[in-house]
Chains A and B, each alone.
Chain A
Amino acid sequence: DAKTTQPPSMDCAEGRAANLPCNHSTISGNEYVYWYRQIHSQGPQYIIHGLKNNETNEMASLIITEDRKSSTLILPHATLRDTAVYYCIVRVGGNAGNMLTFGGGTRLMVKP
């Protein structure tokens, strides 16, 4: 799977939008962008995924650039409970995609 690059840490004020960037310049055409997060002392939790169109669910929005070389995860109104490590992962879709390859992630600290 292609590798991703994320800033190691970010701060965000409670109630404001948190925008977490990810670079995946070597992504292949059949690779999806996935985001997981890991709250302290818990297992990772799926947030959202997309191929090339922007996606939104109850947790977040995912914006993927037209060339697919980067993406941004948006938490529209961050709360203290959103403090976690956020992992951006690219992964082959369909039956060929199995394990998740985690990088270092971005440690998001939401501050009151």
Chain B
Amino acid sequence: GAGVSQTPSNKVTEKGKYVELRCDPISGHTALYWYRQSLGQGPEFLIYFQGTGAADDSGLPNDRFFAVRPEGSVSTLKIQRTERGDSAVYLCASSFTSGGYNEQFFGPGTRLTVL
């Protein structure tokens, strides 16, 4: 079956521009997570959705980052006024429900490069 998909796979932008990264979770998965992974480090949590609502956005680094999931399926991570430090791989994961018993399935990530 189809796994988690993310588009684009690569995004190059200039400092100060706005970008949107898209995540299509596994069908039927109600929980969706965004992580960010810098080179040589493990992924860091950004935000978690249960259905349409953001249940935990404590990992968003500042107010330039925002994410939505309006219909409880596809999610978009939005970054305003990008900075070079935002360059990283942005990973999306989904699980059947939230909670520690549920395996998270990860997408391949979007590699964002801010010049």
**Chain A bound to chain B:** yes
Q: Are A99 and B45 in contact (CB under 8 A)?
A: yes
Q: Are B99 and A100 in contact (CB under 8 A)?
A: no
CB contact list, A73-112 vs B, under 8 A: 85, 87, 91-105
| Cβ–Cβ contact B99 & A95, under 8 A | yes
State whether A96 touches B100 (Cβ < 8 A): yes
**Residues on A with beta carbons closer than 8 Å to the beta carbon of B41:** 104
The residue that B42 contacts in the complex, of A41, A98, A104, with Cβ under 8 A, is A104
Of chain B, the residue at the smallest CB distance from A48 is: B103
Bound-state Cα–Cα, A41 to B91, Å? 11
Alpha-carbon gap, A27 to B24, bound state (A): 34
Chain B positions 71-115 with a Cβ under 8 Å from a chain A Cβ = 91, 93, 98-101, 103-109
* A45 at interface by CB-CB < 8 Å: yes
Count, chain B residues at interface, CB 8 A:
26
Question: A103: which B residues are within 8 A, CB to CB?
Answer: 42
In this assembly, does B59 line the interface, its C-beta being within 8 Å of a C-beta of chain A?
yes
CB-based contact B98/A102 at 8 Å:
no
Pair A102/B108 contact, Cβ less than 8 Å: no
Interface string of A35-48 (1 = CB under 8 A from B): 00000011111100
Nearest residue in B to A91 (C-beta to C-beta)? B100
Interface residues in B44-85 (C-beta closer than 8 Å to A)? 44-45, 48, 55-56, 59
B48 near A98 with CB under 8 A, answer: yes
Across the interface, A100 reaches (CB within 8 A) one of B4, B43, B56, B107, namely B43
| Contact partners of A101 in chain B: CB under 8 A | 45
Instruction: List 11 contacting pairs A-B, 8 Å CB cutoff, sorted by A.
Output: A32-B100, A44-B91, A44-B93, A46-B105, A93-B100, A95-B98, A95-B99, A98-B33, A98-B98, A98-B99, A104-B41
- A residues neighboring B (CB under 8 Å): 32, 41-46, 85, 87, 91-105
Nearest 8 CB-CB pairs, A to B?
A97-B100, A43-B106, A102-B42, A93-B100, A99-B45, A46-B103, A95-B99, A91-B100
